[in-house]
Structures are given as C-alpha cells and as structure tokens.
Amino acid sequence: MLIEMSVSACAAMVTLTKSISWRTVVKSQDVNGIGVVIYQKLVSNSCYAERKTNEPPLCSERDGSRFPWYAPLDSCLFTTDITTSDERYNWPDPWPERLDVSYASVPDDSASNKEKFEADTKYWKQLISEVYFSDFPFNWSSIRNVMDMNAGFGGFAAALIDQPLWVMNAVPIGQPDTLPLIFNRGLIGALMTGANLSTPTLVPMIFST
C-alpha cells in the first residue's frame, strides 16, 4: 500500500512539474529507497506558450498588483522575469552590485519612484556614516540582529551591508508593497502587522523611521 501511494505521489508530482514547466535537474535514490529530485524553474516564458492546455492558467497582470496580505491563493502561474535586454523586466544584477539598483518589477516603476529609490539609498548611506556610527552611544559590534519596522526601499539595511549583522526589513500593512524591490536588492523582508511582530528578545535592536 505504501509503495502504491509513493508511486501515485511521484506520478502526480511529475504531472504537476511538467504543467508548470519545471525542468528535472537531478534525480537520485539511496539504498533505503528514499529519493531526491531537484527541479529548476523556467528562465523564460516560451514554455507557457507551447503548452497544449493552459492548465494551470496564467495569472492576469492585475493579479500581480493586488495587495498580497490575507488574499486567497489562486491556482494560476505568474510569468517569470524576462531575460532579454529589450524587454521590460530583467534578472537582478550579481551581488553586491544589485544592492544599489532599482528594478522594474516593483509595483511602481515610474521615473519618480526610481528617483525616490536613489535618494533614499544616498540618504541612508550618509546618515549611517555620519550619525549612527559617530554619535550613537552604544557598541555596534555587539549588535547582530536588527529589525527595520518601516523598511520602505530597504535603504537602512543596504547602508549596513558591510557590518557583521543582518537586518530584517518589515513592510507595514497599509504601506506600498516594496518587498519585490527589497528582495531584488538581495535583502530579506516580510509584510508585518502589529499582531505578528517578532519577539523583542530575539531582536537586540528594533529600528523604525
């Protein structure tokens, strides 16, 4: 019975990964019969156009701009970032160059938003250098975990990138969803409400602008 269930689950997984255009990279099985399969997500959208059936369907563009918090899950696929230079979207630059680059995959990719991003990055670099490391009366070497409670573009975390600490970027519910930009910068973050904040004892420094 267990073998039949395993075979059935494996067949269902094969069907699913084919339908969403994932490629099998590695498949292995040890002496105990425990198997491991590693998949690679697609790097272009051409596979979606070649599918015989549009199942699961592609999400509409407006689905991507919908506020994500507490939204019901949809059985649709978002298209991947385009890699060609003449298309709207591109993969992020290599690390650490990507840290200071604004990408078009954020909800608002207008010229004014890019100017705000650049100004925010410059502002935090200057403030960290001239104020936080000079005037604050505490030992930065003792800080390991920081939570920015109003992360915005993630400029505070980006300015601290050379320090031996990590910053959790919290984007408050009700504010513009800048998490895609934060992730594209190579930083970590999460949407936050007042009810799901981390335990203060786990975060030595909580920062909010």
Predicted confidence (pLDDT) per residue in 172-198, tens digit = 888 888 888 899 899 999 988 765 555
pLDDT of residue 121: 94
3-state secondary structure of 24: strand
Answer yes or no: is pLDDT of 165 > 60: yes
Q: What tokens were used for 5?
A: 């269930």
pLDDT digits (tens, 9 = 90+) for 79-119: 776 545 544 455 678 888 899 887 655 555 555 688 899 99
How would you classify the pairing of strands 23-29 and 35-40?
Answer: antiparallel
Provide, for the chain, the percentages of residues in helix, strand and coil under a 3-state DSSP scheme, each rounded to the nearest 5: 35, 15, 50
Cα–Cα distance list, 191 to 107, 175, 201 (Å): 15, 10, 20
Mean pLDDT score of the chain: 78
